[in-house]
Amino acid sequence: MVSGRMLHLRAPAKINLYLKVLGRRHDGYHELSTWMQKLTLADEITLAKAGAGIKLQCSGTDLAADETNLAYRAAVLFFAKTGLRSGVEIRLVKKIPVAAGLGGGSSDAAAVLTGLNTLLSAGLSEKELLEMGLSLGADVPFFVSGCSAAIATGIGEKLEEQDSLKGCWLVLVNPGFPVSTRWVFEDFDRLQPVNFTLTSGDNPYILGREIEGPLFARLFNDLERVTITRYPAVAKLKSKLTESGASGVLMTGSGPTVFGIFMDFDRAAQCAGNLQHDYPGKVFLTEPLSSS
């Protein structure tokens, strides 16, 4: 919602329904093929015009409110690229766990980029915003885009919009410790041949749009085995969600958050309630975000 000198935004979390590492490039980045879905779970961001400079207030987390924060860096990049002589005050309320595989930081950065473009009438095209987003992180273009769900390839910059999941609920469980995305990919590389290139018959383009059957049979994450090796709590969470009646269970991104897809709301709510006893404040009952 925009009102004069202020803009209120929601920065949604995401899950990866499919994540295949296709190879490592010479520049160190990884070629991926991943199906991402935005969720109703979201951080809350308020942007307010200021005379000059960037000020960030961040609550709900112990994240620093400086240039190490992606939301702050997005604002710095925006003003550098546009040359606008203005400033902004950013109020960020974190609802999405940090370093959890849910894309919270990337979503915050995307919200700041697109929000400043609207608030300051900068007139940047989506293509320009996508390019700026990619320089901040591989997941940022997905959040900049208007897609609720998409297949992302390359290093995350090539997006093909997909139908959003419907008629289901998701229980997310975060075991309460962060996992470094950089460490996961480095460890993944260590297990592979130098400059490896992987091919697979598990093509995400044929996952199917139906919530039943094909989707659950093809939930897949190449990074899961790396994270589980060091953090067996992730495997334990997968078992708990399966035992609670989830139709499909997977670790999202580089972890450690695990999600379970439920076709019945009451069963999902019961599962979330039960898990809150062991993981207080780390269990989230949410839904797929739909653009329709």
Q: What is the pLDDT of residues 239-271, one digit of tens each?
A: 999 999 999 999 999 999 999 999 999 999 999
**pLDDT at residue 4, rounded to an integer:** 64
Residue 194's pLDDT is 47
Q: Return the residue matching tokens 């609550």.
A: 59
Question: What pLDDT digit, counting tens, does each position of 272-292 carry?
Answer: 999 999 999 999 999 999 874
Tell me what pLDDT residue 189 has: 86
Could you say which of 3.30.70.890, 3.50.30.30, 3.40.50.620, 1.10.10.10 is the CATH number of the domain covering 169-286?
Answer: 3.30.70.890
Tokens representing residue 115 in the block: 């929000």
CB-based contact 286:41 (threshold 8 Å)? yes
What pTM was estimated for this model as a whole?
0.90
d(CA 134, CA 142): 9
Q: State the Rg of the chain over Cα.
A: 19
pLDDT of residue 27: 80
The first and second tokens of residue 147, run together, are 């897609």
CA-to-CA separations, 14 to 125, 212, 259, in angstroms, rounded: 24, 20, 11
List pLDDT tens digits, range 143-183.
Answer: 999 999 999 999 888 999 999 999 999 999 999 999 998 89
Query: Domain 2-161's class?
Result: alpha beta
Query: Residue 23: which pLDDT band, with cuts at 50, 70 and 90?
Result: confident
- Domain range list for the chain: 2-161, 169-286
Mean pLDDT for all residues in the chain: 89
**Token reading at 82:** 């546009």
Q: Which residue has the higher pLDDT, 272 or 52?
A: 272
Q: Which are the catalytic amino acids?
A: 14, 139
CA distance 133 to 128: 9
